[in-house]
Amino acid sequence: MSLQPQEIAPLNSLRRHVLSWLTDAFHAQETGGLSWHWSAFRARNAWQPSIAAIEGFLLSHEPRESDLLLIGGSAGWMMTSKWLSRFKTITIIDIDPLARLFFALIHGKALKRSGTAWHFERRDALKELPQLLKEHPNALVFFDNVLGQQCFRLKDEERVERLLGQIKKTLQGRHWGSIHDVYSGPIDLASPLGKMPLIRPEHILSFQCQLGEMNTASRQPEQNAKTPSSMPAPELEIQPSYMVLDGKKTSFDEGAQTLLQAVNATGEWQDHLSVEVFAPDTPSVMIPWFFKSDYCHWLQAAMVRT
């Protein structure tokens, strides 16, 4: 017995739906999912100093809104319930279908006590941002460690930079904030050179930070020793013109070096292509996050009030 075309179409659509559900449940297009929940569950204690620093940042910005639109909230592993409890309603948008269950386990009780009503929607928040803003005209919009993950999902540098650079324009006139990865990479806490890192996992320090307007710099690719004449053209990269760290203005490269040295960075670091998320000179905080004993992230966090 063969199926008619009108019977095949719904089956194909169901199959696509199930496949996308499973893919996002497992790894959320390499940005979350079960692998994230497992890492976060196992490392919850080790991450406490960074979680406390994030809480300090959030609590220092008293929300004027009673509604929160939490984008990429997942289970809220890196948030305490204290800040979330300040809102009357929270809408969590995430592509990971398991986020609702884990969020309920972590924050459900506290939010019930504070009378905060919350609900979850499985949607692509970046694709649907203008529509979400229309649906939640009075909410504070907070991107919760999601913008720095887009380089893994989209795998196209130019597209990621365009997408992340556009967000502040789409949000013009709104109160919004974000915490996201700027850089991540290997560290050597054993410090074979005998130089102790300034920051340690159990004693983290944050930096007040401002990034200058963007310049297009050229990055010379590695020289090919055998055929110097066949060197490819330099790659162009977008880079802030300066960095102000704890009030000290330096070139962007010098500032980046300070951040890397502070955690004894080694090897190659990942650029999360997120330096253009905030407008130039937006006061922000750089928070180190020791993801593993030999791997660290620099998170940038800011609230934008217009």
Ligand X SMILES: C[S@@+](CC[C@H](N)C(=O)[O-])C[C@H]1O[C@@H](n2cnc3c(N)ncnc32)[C@H](O)[C@@H]1O
Query: 79 or 259: whose CB is closer to ligand X?
Result: 79
Stretch that binds ligand X, among 6-14, 32-40, 224-232, 279-287 (CB under 6 A): 32-40
145/274 with CB nearer ligand X: 145
Q: Contact with ligand X (CB under 6 A): which of 76, 177, 185, 201? A: 76
Q: Does 153 bind ligand X (CB under 6 A)?
A: yes
Q: Which parts of 88-107 interact with ligand X (CB under 6 A)?
A: 93-96, 99
Q: How far is the CB of 53 from ligand X (least distance, A)?
A: 13
Q: How far apart are CA 297 and CA 132, in angstroms?
A: 29
Nearer residue to ligand X within complex by CB, 176 or 252: 176
Q: Round to whole Å and give the CA distance between 259 and 249.
A: 14
Identify which of 154, 155, 66, 173 has the alpha carbon closest to the alpha carbon of residue 116. Answer: 66
245 part of the interface to ligand X, by CB under 6 A? no
Closest to ligand X by CB, 72 or 240: 72
Q: Is 77 in the site for ligand X (CB under 6 A)?
A: yes
Q: Are 90 and 111 in contact (CB under 8 A)?
A: yes
Pairing relationship of beta strands 117-122 and 242-245 according to DSSP bridges? unpaired
Q: State which amino acid sits at residue 134.
A: K
Per CB under 6 A, the segment of 71-79, 154-162, 252-260, 275-283 that binds ligand X is 71-79
Strands 67-71 and 117-122: unpaired
| Cβ closest to ligand X, residue 252 vs residue 289 | 289
Rounded to whole angstroms, the Cα distance separating 18 from 34 reads 16
Of 11 and 18, which CB lies nearer to ligand X in the complex structure? 18
Please choose, from the candidates 135, 183, 182, the residue with its C-alpha nearest in 3D space to the C-alpha of residue 277. 182
| Shortest Å, Cβ 28 to ligand X | 3
Strand partners, 12: none
**Nearest CA to 123 among 12, 18, 28?**
28
Angle (deg, nearest 10), helices 33-43 and 5-26: 20
- Separation in Å, CA 195 to CA 46, 127, 170, 192, 290: 23, 45, 45, 8, 18
Smallest distance from the beta carbon of 71 to ligand X, in angstroms?
6
Stretch that binds ligand X, among 144-152, 158-166, 169-177, 264-272 (CB under 6 A): 144-152
Per CB under 6 A, the list member of 50, 74, 178, 264 interacting with ligand X is 74
* Residue closer to ligand X, measured from CB, 264 or 284: 284
Applying CB under 6 A, which residues contact ligand X? 28, 31-32, 36, 40, 72-78, 93-96, 99, 124-126, 144-146, 149, 153
